[in-house]
Structure 1
């Protein structure tokens, strides 16, 4: 018998792969990750990165990595850029603008996203991007348009805007086809809504009680619309009326083929007959047969005056639970399509807001989708199985959850990394920081901690004493990369305690005006640390109460 043949498998070196394959791979990566992974390997990879990597998203990127990327890559070649002033990257927009003035470095951009900008900085930033003639897509907020002059971006086709109602400055965007607009009610100046009439797609987050009539008035001028999406963010809203929308669409929106909406309602004067009339108004031949637009109304037998009426499939990422059960929910969807509800109609929902303690989950929600949970009431245990992918938890009201139930929630949500909670609620859920199981779970999971005010309608951060700060540091120092809280202590007392949080990438402190041995704690802190943009840490303040630090020595 002949000796068995031996086959020698030749290994293929990674560098022997063709350029086309690397270009394909780079197309699936954020430019930040591609440059960080492949830079400084050899001349070939450096050339590929310079010529074919041009989309950069700096959201949640550490300052050290931000500096590394901007030093190694030619910014003039970028085509898409995302900057953010979120909790993980405070001051990133200002930092980038100081080092790389937008009118000099990014005039070639085709897509620009600027998130969580402070309104007071918007006017200067918009002045710097007026020359971006190649810009096709712009996402920007938060903006107060009161003092912003009208501008032209001749190539702009898509705008995502978070702003007050002063939108006069966008009226000359003559090529604009798509607008997603979130109205922020933070401006006391009254103003009528103004949109370019060239729009084909319009998506608005608004409050019906404040702007419902004004919105319907301006829609009468939007004859080119083919898609309309409306999300009512109001806490208390009247019952929606399908007849009003039917008449508006028939008279003013002849091209509209998609109408998506979420209309919560909360009126104590509602009775069952009112609700039936509302459902009937969305059940006319116009909706069911001509347009094939179907709705669902979620309501409970225990509180008929509260609920939500929305289009199917559900078109938004955020679902507000405005009823204590779904036992009297009703839909105009044909019976033959009911199975679709379980698999396809709620795939976009990734955020759930509990306004009411709903005992049984909706059959359509997918556990793989829910990443953000906002609790204004207790979380029923029957919902916990949906939270396997949960990443962000916000508790913004008093809850009766026990430490055992909270432990169960943490165990069922292994991906949880962000927590917003009042110090009072945190003390309750951890048994005053003595429950070793809960504290261990938090120390292993939480990467971002925000101590909120105990009352949810107050935007300020929650005050933490020095003693409680020591408890927070003891629990969260292992993994926590971002911390936001309010303090009433001398900066020299706070500094050595916070130094124990060695993983911190960013810090936000609100100082309260009480006697702490120094008149202006923010100014005192700034005296001890450089505010030069080239310094290791980027330190800035919006006013004399808020201090933001973006640390530069952690990747």
Structure 2
């Protein structure tokens, strides 16, 4: 074997993994993700393993979590990061192999993330304000994150003075919390590859809606939207109606609250204009399901959680009352509709 790509979910596999590496002298490319903070391997340990057991290794890519002491002052915490990076500043790393690592950390989180450059993994979690240090002499190598296609972006402080050298140009799937800060568009300069958006806000105001509108305007290829908003207003719904686009899948949530009949009517009015084929909702009244089916010609799948769904609450129930009721109501109109249940979600395929 010359190539190994592996993800270790628990530190209990640590010893087995490195024992396995000892039996792979022909390995040339190693890519590994450590998902536990107890699996951190410092630079000296890596150096020993590679020199002793992986003599042909040409390419090393890793991502590790590093536990931090949150009781330290900001200056002391940065010194802690320097001590971590110093283990990767030997001649072995910088001169012989030109392998560089970066450490990202946040003052409000208990761990840092340490990874090789360029970043080699598909997904990235960005909890701003983020601080970074690396062993690379190329501070502004903005193409280091071209492999990232899925990004979770969570701003912790709205007013920040720091800027970032991290940029993402190829994001396809974005999960984001509003409001966003002023540096967001410098981190993601363009959205021409974006196809899936998960947008959340539990502090709704017009500013958040304007930010969402700007993001939607910048994403011409967007086909799947999951919107979790504090309040589903008519102006928010009209964001979708005012665009000449096709959204294949749409999910609308109101932070744990079911959509009432008036809100369902608003949605049913705009869905045909965006040619939505898959709709995910949590509703208060089952009769709204029938209205969706009867008014949306493009709809092909409907995934519903219903507030008055007694079958989902009764573990002893042998008959699914809601699914039976739906089948009776629509059988005369849609003879090929398939209705199933998964936990609290009723799924309908409409033909």
TM-score, L = length of structure 1: 0.50
Give the match's secondary structure for 2:255: coil
Residue number in structure 2 paired with 1:242: 43
Correspondence for 2:295: 500
Residues 123 and 151, structure 2, Cα contact 8 Å, conserved in 1: yes
Deviations 1:246-269 (A, max 9, x none): 344445544433221223556424
Q: CA deviation at 1:371?
A: 2.2
Give the secondary structure class of the aligned counterpart of 2:225. strand
Separation in structure 2 between the aligned mates of residue 496 and residue 233 of structure 1, nearest angstrom: 46
Asked if structure 1 preserves the Cα contact closer than 8 Å seen for 2:11 and 2:38, the reply is no
Once the two structures are superposed, residues 91-127 of structure 1 have per-residue CA deviations (whole angstroms, 9 ceiling, x without a partner) of xxxxxxxxxxxxxxxxxxxxxxxxxxxxxxxxxxxxx
Query: SS state of the match for residue 104, structure 2?
Result: strand
**Residue 3 (structure 2) aligned to one of 177, 183, 200:** 200
- The verdict on how the C-alpha distance between 1:371 and 1:399 changes in structure 2, with shifts beyond 3 A counting, is farther
1:482–1:506 CA contact under 8 A, matched in 2: yes
Gap runs ≥5 in structure 1: 1-197, 456-461
Measured in 1, the distance between the counterparts of 2:254 and 2:54 equals 45
Pair 1:241–1:330, CA change in 2 (3 A): same
Q: CA deviation at 1:345?
A: 2.2
**2:2 touches 2:29 (CA, 8 Å); kept in 1?**
no
Aligned to 2:184: 383
Pick aligned residue for 2:208 from 392, 402, 410: 402
Give the Cα separation in 1 of the matches to 2:174 and 2:285: 32
- 1:319 equivalent to 2:124? Answer yes
Deviation at 1:442, TM superposition (A): 6.2
2:20 to 216, 221, 239: 221
Give 1:324 shift: 0.4
Call closer, same or farther: CA 1:482–1:493 in 2, change over 3 Å. Answer: closer
Offset at 1:364? 5.0
Residue 443 and residue 473 in structure 1: after superposition, are their counterparts in 2 closer, same or farther (change >3 A)?
farther
Q: Which has the higher strand share?
A: 2
Question: Aligned runs of 1:127-138 on 2, under 5 Å?
Answer: none
- Corresponding position: 1:489 with 2:288: no
> Aligned residue for 2:58?
257
Q: 1:538 to 1:509 in 2, by over 3 A?
A: same
Report the CA distance between 1:237 and its aligned residue. Answer: 7.4
TM-score norm. by structure 2 comes to: 0.75
RMSD over aligned CA atoms reads 3.7
CA contact 2:225–2:250 (8 Å) conserved in 1: yes
Q: More deviation in 261-270 or 503-512? A: 261-270
Asked if 1:283 corresponds to 2:89, the answer is: yes
Instruction: Give SS of 2:152's match.
Output: strand
Per the alignment, residue 411 of structure 1 pairs with 217
Report the CA distance shift for 1:228/1:522 in structure 2 as closer, same or farther (over 3 A): farther
Q: Is the 8 A contact 1:349 1:365 kept in 2?
A: no
Residue matched to 2:241: 440
CA–CA distance in 2 between the matches of 1:522 and 1:436? 28
Q: Is the 8 A contact 1:264 1:322 kept in 2?
A: no
Match of 1:308 among 113, 136, 156: 113
State the Cα distance separating 1:305 from its structure 2 match. 5.7
Q: Number of matched residues?
A: 325
Contact 1:260–1:315 under 8 Å retained in 2: yes
Q: Which has the larger radius of gyration?
A: 1
Q: CA deviation at 1:338?
A: 4.7
2:315 aligned partner: none
Match of 1:370 among 125, 148, 171: 171
Equivalent of 2:260 in 462, 465, 485: 465
Partner of residue 326, structure 2: 525
